[in-house]
Structure 1
Amino acid sequence: MSIEITVLFDVVPNQMESVVDAFRDLAVATRQEEGVLRFDACLSEEHADTVVLVEEWVDQTAIDLHMKKEYTEAFLSRVDGAFRNPPHVHRLCPLGS
């Protein structure tokens, strides 16, 4: 069974443009990784200044490798200080599992 994760980011309003650019770059690179099934950064239509990251991975090993990639580390540096709160990470589990 794959691993699905949704992460909500509460972005500092005046940093939204640079955060969106950073997410776009991260998504392009990440989608090339072996083990990624989905990696989409989206803007919330209901909540201004919120970015929602929707991920699906084949397994934990793929996630661990992703977190060690140079471009993932570069992304984290680019967005350092750009969020009002720590990201809300939701690792999803289907009902009945």
Structure 2
Amino acid sequence: MISITAIIKSKKENIEDVKNMIQNLVTQTRKEEACIRYDLHNTENVFIIWEEWKDQSGLDIHNNQPYLVDFISKSEAFLSAPVQVYKTIQIL
């Protein structure tokens, strides 16, 4: 299993726009066969997506989905910083 944490920081004035874009991304991603978990968390203007994937090939497929590519290109102008993505391994 592969775990990913993505941190997305919206500009304060674009919180609702970013939230709507991310909600669409979550809805689409949860339909993917290799997706085990794709949970969205939020505090103020920071959105955190906690992901779990069955395997690397499933994650690779996700990374090339049109809705993810579209989110990345369209959200850039609404964000206060580049999206941070961490691939992690559970240790406990």
Task: Using the TM superposition, give the Cα deviation of residue 21 of structure 1 relative to its aligned residue in structure 2, in angstroms.
Answer: 0.2
Q: Give the superposed CA RMSD.
A: 1.4
Runs (4+) off by over 3 Å: none
Task: State the one-letter code of the partner of 1:66.
Answer: H
The count of aligned residue pairs is 92
Paired residue for 1:16?
15
Task: Using the TM superposition, give the Cα deviation of residue 5 of structure 1 relative to its aligned residue in structure 2, in angstroms.
Answer: 0.8
- 5+ residue gaps, structure 2, are none
Please state if 1:76 is matched with 2:75: no
**Identity across aligned pairs (percent)?**
26
- 5+ residue gaps, structure 1, are none
For residues 85 and 77 of structure 1, the distance between their equivalents in structure 2, rounded to whole angstroms, comes to 14
Q: TM-score, normalised by structure 2?
A: 0.89
Flag the 1:88–1:74 CA change in 2: closer, same or farther, 3 A. closer
SS in 1 for 2:78: coil
Paired residue for 1:53?
49
Between 16-25 and 72-81, the greater mean CA deviation after superposition: 72-81
CA distances 1:9-60 after superposition (whole Å, capped 9, x unpaired): 121111111100001111111100010001112212xxx2100011000111
Computing the radius of gyration from Cα coordinates, the structure with the larger value is 1
Q: TM-score, normalised by structure 1?
A: 0.85
For residues 71 and 83 of structure 2, the distance between their equivalents in structure 1, rounded to whole angstroms, comes to 14
Flag the 1:33–1:6 CA change in 2: closer, same or farther, 3 A. same
